[in-house]
Amino acid sequence: MTPLPNNNILSNFKYDLPASIIVFLVAVPLCLGIALASGAPLFSGIIAGIIGGIVVGALSGSQLGVSGPAAGLAVIVLTAINELGAYEIFLLAVVIGGVFQMLLGFAKAGIIGYYFPSSVIKGMLSGIGIIIILKQIPHAFGYDKDYEGSLAFNSADGHNTISQLYYMLEAISPGALIITLISMAILILWEQPFMKKIKLFKIVQGPLVVVSLGILLNLVFQNIPSLALRAEQLVSIPVPDSINGFFAQFTFPDFSHIGNYAVWVTGLTIAVVASLETLLCLEATDKLDPFKRVTPANQELKAQGVGNIISGLIGGLPITQVIVRSSTNIQSGGRTKLSAILHGVVLLGCAMAIPMVLNLIPLASLAAILFLVGYKLAKPALFKQMYALGQRHFVPFIVTSLGIVFTDLLTGIGIGLVVAIFYILYNNYKKPFLFESGKHIQEGTIRLELAEDVTFINKASIQRTLTQIPDGAKVIIDASRSINIDHDVVEIIEEFQTNAKFRDIELELIEFESVDIKNQVKKVEHALINDLVSKGGKTKTAPTS
């Protein structure tokens, strides 16, 4: 078994450095594409990627999560810039959103992420995997009408994810298709067991070979008109004419609009949506982590808040933790947060020094890399595993996956969550008490053992059962195992107790009362702390914030 990574940077450097470079290569077009879709300056996406890597990566408690601009905020950003009237005013809203996020962290709002069922989180992963594959197929064929990083069903060109698969056939680029096929062959070869045994190929990652070969083929194809790639088929990072030109791309917020109500509403909207996306990605990343480490959610909200404040102050887009980059990091062998930080450092260095080299990278090469990422997120084995767990797990899982594919990330998760809650309520409705006919009907006595937690959801089923009991029967309602009984249920049973006298029903109630249960988690925490203190020990609490 692989040992859990320690905090020694050097011991994990050999894993984190190659992973950071692959994440960087994937992040560049995503940063640019999301900026384009947001109606913001292209360099604003790069700024957000740099801050998400270096600042958020350093402050976050997540060892494998990678932050940057998110496609889920693109529509909000586009609308806000238009309504506020200037990008500089919008940057002020980003700063305010960061402050709100920090406040959410201190208010311990990170616990929200733990209320999403595992079936919905896994459905989110598979749905994103499917949408990555579907969205990258057009780029692989050289049809680049939709921006990189898009996760929404409706595309920027007026088509949708499915219809684009048809329209791309009318615009196939032979050069892009050749690069895609060669890149896929290399990546599949690199995944073979015998390749993993060769020490050189453990150091040199397949995606690095794919991108390097893609640049070489692009240069070769420039001399072959039928295979030459167009500008929109390549990465397109802004190229400054000097170091001063590089720093001139940074923009600063307009603080004169601090009293503008619309700015504060936009800031709050960014904070809520960005925090929700971050918490969902955080939960998903922890599930993908091969070492199953648990990230302190409230610390993550604080880190994201600081990142958004800094990003807004220097001209960047809003930041969230994002699953595409995070999963790429995990699949590329990243071990610690160093990989996320290094990807930000590499992004900054390359944007300053060699943007013209980055602009030689074909999007078809990156499409091949993302195909592999998408497949690993949506492996057939995952669907089989969820199906084997039964209907109440599989249905929310598949609904979430399809919801994400045919709407967008947050809407799909919302639909899946509603379905999961329905199954929870339905199962709770069916189990208000324990009853086995052979055990609980003896000598004409009907015995009902109430469940541990009996709530208003159980009212209808309990009422129905009590109504069906025949006149003259002997009934025992045993609440000795119940921890909590809602007053609604108490009323129903008390009414039955009154009605039983008129139906010649002999009723016995055991330990029946409405119980007010305090926070049991807090009780355990206090008990453990007090026990340790009384024994003179030192307290050490697990990270929950």
Cα 321 from chain centroid (whole Å) = 8
The pLDDT tens digits of the residues spanning 514-542 come to: 555 556 666 676 666 766 666 665 544 44
d(CA 20, CA 481): 53
State residue 483's pLDDT score. Answer: 80
State residue 172's pLDDT score. Answer: 93
* The CATH fold of domain 433-510: Transcription Regulator spoIIAA (3.30.750)
State residue 438's pLDDT score. Answer: 57
Contacts of 377 (CB under 8 A, 6+ apart): 125, 126, 128, 129, 132, 327
State residue 511's pLDDT score. Answer: 80
Up-side HSE of residue 323: CA atoms within 13 Å toward CB?
34
Up-side HSE of residue 258: CA atoms within 13 Å toward CB?
3
State residue 510's pLDDT score. Answer: 87
The pLDDT tens digits of the residues spanning 322-365 come to: 999 999 999 999 999 999 999 999 999 999 999 999 999 999 99
Which segments in the chain show pLDDT lower than 50?
539-545
For the chain, give every domain's residue range: 12-379, 433-510
State residue 3's pLDDT score. Answer: 62
d(CA 274, CA 318): 8
d(CA 537, CA 541): 13
Are the C-beta atoms of residues 326 and 30 closer than 8 Å to each other?
no
Token pair for 301: 């909200």
d(CA 312, CA 405): 31
